Amino acid sequence: QEQRPRRIVNLPRVPVAVRRSSHAARGGARLVPFSHMPSAHAIAALSMAKLFVSKLKPGLRRSWSRLRRPSEIKIKVIYLVRHAEAMHNVEEKRVVGLSLEAGLSKSEADLARKTALETNDALKDAPLSTGGHQQIQSALEGYQRLLDRTPYCAPEIVLVSPLRRTLQTATRLFGSAVRIVAVELLREKRTGMACD
């Protein structure tokens, strides 16, 4: 077989890198300016897409491969948000701090933390702390910047655990403009502690 000559792009003062291409399989490589190289995020996304497609069943793989234009691909954006600091988090920190100051080991301090949460009925379905409300205000500012400066839009629906701290976080962060639905399956595992 006849070998094709390599194509080289000479651009003065522009660093170049070898990028594998369909020519590489035939013995050729193409030099591409770094400015034309995809970003690390794009490379990671393409790798994940290839992995996703490779794991599809053959019938689905054919259907996926028919999607040629980006406009045919539906993209869902999912925001994952942890609840802000609640009163039980404050109590946990306080008990652990006192335990460690008293000379207890980390495992003993953890046991004291669990005992405090199990026995304190005031922490039943604990509400947000003052610090938690401040965290939400800070998160809200960041969320607004995200919506203002990027192509991302506000969520269409918010699925949330039915615990008070998560409902307070969701309603303060997303407001009444978004439908908020409490879903029992999203509740933190049932630990037997009053806060859960």
Q: What DSSP assignment string belongs to 14-76?
A: --EEEE--TTGGGT--EEEEGGGSPPHHHHHHHHHHHHHHHHS-HHHHHHHHT--SGGGS---
Please count the other Cβ atoms lying within 10 Å of the Cβ belonging to residue 141.
10
Question: Both tokens of residue 128?
Answer: 């947000």
Q: What is the mean pLDDT of the chain?
A: 73
Q: What is the average per-residue pLDDT within 145-170?
A: 89
Which is more confident, 128 or 66? 128
Tens of pLDDT, residue by residue over 67-110, are 545 566 677 778 888 899 999 899 989 989 999 999 999 999 98
Domain boundaries, the chain: 16-72, 87-186
* Rounded Cα distance, 151 and 158, in Å: 19
* Rounded Cα distance, 105 and 193, in Å: 22
pTM of the model: 0.58
Rounded to 5 degrees, φ, ψ at 32 are: -130, 135
